[in-house]
Structure 1
Amino acid sequence: MEAEPVEPVEPERSLEPAEPAEAVEPCRPGEPAAVATPRPPVRSSRTVLLVVGALLLGPLVGGGIGYAVQAGRSATPLPALQPAELPAYPPGALDPAAAAAGSPKPLAIDGDLRKLLLPKPDGAQDWDSGFAATGDWETPGEMARWHADSARYFEKLVGSGLRRAAVTTFQKDGVKYRIELIQYQPDQAGAAVAAMRQSKVAGATDMPDGMEGAYWASNTQETYADSTETYYPGSAVTRRGDVVVGVTAFGTTQVSADLLRDLAKQQWERLA
């Protein structure tokens, strides 16, 4: 029997088109061919665990070894809390009078300023100024009433750190004298310097012997405020510490500048 011929089988064709091969950009003449950069290897998680474990176990192991070494050593004795010998004090009670004599004495200007006022000179008579009593304390209001612009002067006194003031008055040979001790707060000593400088009249003579301040006396008459009455003026000003010494004089006869200087110097010396 003759065999029937078999039809050849055609290979299956893919219905999806094949992806085109990636085009490779040709190298330019004279340039080396591009080499693909390899990707970095992925670090294993096992290595990370080893590093973390070493960081944790290192301090623990080191601390344990140090504790074991220290525990094997003998204890170091600590010094005693109380000294072997107590400090010795002199026998007997301290004499208060001796302690007071050995301590620094307070400044005269920190005491009663009224006791430091210059006494009335020989031949002088009492004079009531009509404000503060002679040889007594003086209030800022009483001080301000001596000035024409009393309200402004009062504000200036209160705002400049004024602490206290004392005054004494007398008259002699037709001239009335007024001596003031004006003390400022310790932290406002600069106000005393400013007050002294502001009281200095133009053309005045400086105080002698290195003292601060100046003195002057006018040879011409002036007129009182709100009055037609005339007078001869004069004044002297100096300072010791935070205390300003002010000497004011006025009268129907000319004031002696030398007498003002001497009064201010004598009052300044009493403050030492």
Structure 2
Amino acid sequence: MPDAPAASDAPDAAAPRPRRRGRTALLIVGAAVLGLVAGTCGGYLVQADRAPTKLPPLSQPTLPQGRGDGPEPLSAAQDRQVKTGGDLRKLLLKMPRGAKKAEWVPDDGWIDLAAYAERFDKPRVAFPNLVGEEFRRAAETSWKVGRTYSVEIELVQFRQVDSISAEDANSDAQYWADEKDHSHSWNIPGTGDGMAYVHDRPDTKPGYLPLYSAEAHAWRGDIAMEIWIYDSKPIPKKTIIDVAKRQMEQL
């Protein structure tokens, strides 16, 4: 039996989820996928051993039709569930001309639950929290321009059966962004409570260039948006707000 988590690592419902780290290596876990495939195969075998169920007759009584004109159904372009229920990666911003795909992005653009939890400073706390928040899936794109400038965008989608988890995730991300010293923040136009942050104090390490960062967090429906920009020089307010605004327009 694995060791119980330390008291300091236990989830606290009253506190925000652990702090999201910056760029980290991705962790690919195949056990959950293999378990899903095995369970599906077992279900087919059980069904194959059962006697066929008699179907009802095809002829059914004719139901009376309602009178009057009902509301017109939404088109695929208007129905947001159609838009966000498809390939989430298609809602990500396209890589700008002249940029190169970042090497740390998964080839297929998807981030599974385990990999996403590893991006927090306390993965053992983040993983069960994300399960409780009804994490559904996450998609990512990232690119580099020149030697030092990079952009990372993540769209995290929740099932939202019991709570508005996308809004909660956005609030937690903004909580930690506000905790950083030497930072400035602004509202992202058109998002209500979306916020963009520029951090003036760089991360420094002997022998390396300084690393400045900016981030943006907003949500719409069942999707939380996270954007991170890094460079060796201070990042302008206009840069992070422009990327965030264009990404939210995609949603």
Show structure 2 runs of 5+ residues with no match: 1-61, 66-71, 179-183
Q: Is the 8 A contact 2:191 2:248 kept in 1?
A: no
Q: Find the residue that maps to 1:204 and give its secondary structure.
A: strand
Report deviation, 1:236: 0.4
CA spacing shift, 1:177–1:189, aligned 2, 3 Å = farther
Q: Is the 8 A contact 2:136 2:159 kept in 1?
A: yes
Answering whether residue 177 of structure 2 is matched by residue 204 of structure 1, we say no
- For residue 138 of structure 2, the aligned residue among 165, 180, 205 is 165
Q: Find the residue that maps to 1:164 and give its secondary structure.
A: strand
Report deviation, 1:111: 1.5
Answer 1 or 2: higher relative contact order, Cα 8 Å, separation at least 6. Answer: 2
Q: Is the 8 A contact 2:199 2:214 kept in 1?
A: yes
Q: Find the residue that maps to 1:186 and give its secondary structure.
A: coil
Letter aligned with residue 89 of structure 2: R
Q: Find the residue that maps to 1:187 and give its secondary structure.
A: coil
CA spacing shift, 1:198–1:122, aligned 2, 3 Å = same
- For residue 201 of structure 2, the aligned residue among 220, 228, 238 is 220
What is aligned with 1:269? 249
* Cα displacement string for residues 227-248 of structure 1 (whole angstroms, at most 9, x for unaligned residues): 9855212100111111011101
Q: Find the residue that maps to 1:244 and give its secondary structure.
A: strand
Moved more, 180-189 or 237-246: 180-189
Show structure 1 runs of 5+ residues with no match: 1-85, 90-101
Q: Is the 8 A contact 1:197 1:213 kept in 2?
A: no
- For residue 145 of structure 1, the aligned residue among 118, 133, 137 is 118
Q: Which has the higher strand share?
A: 2
Structure possessing the higher radius of gyration over alpha carbons: 1
Answering whether residue 167 of structure 2 is matched by residue 193 of structure 1, we say yes
Where has structure 1 moved over 6 Å in runs of 4 or more?
A: 86-89
CA spacing shift, 1:192–1:123, aligned 2, 3 Å = same
TM-score normalised to structure 2 length: 0.60
CA spacing shift, 1:210–1:160, aligned 2, 3 Å = closer
Alignment: residue pair count: 170
Pairwise CA RMSD: 2.6
- For residue 220 of structure 2, the aligned residue among 240, 249, 253 is 240
TM-score normalised to structure 1 length: 0.55
CA spacing shift, 1:228–1:245, aligned 2, 3 Å = farther
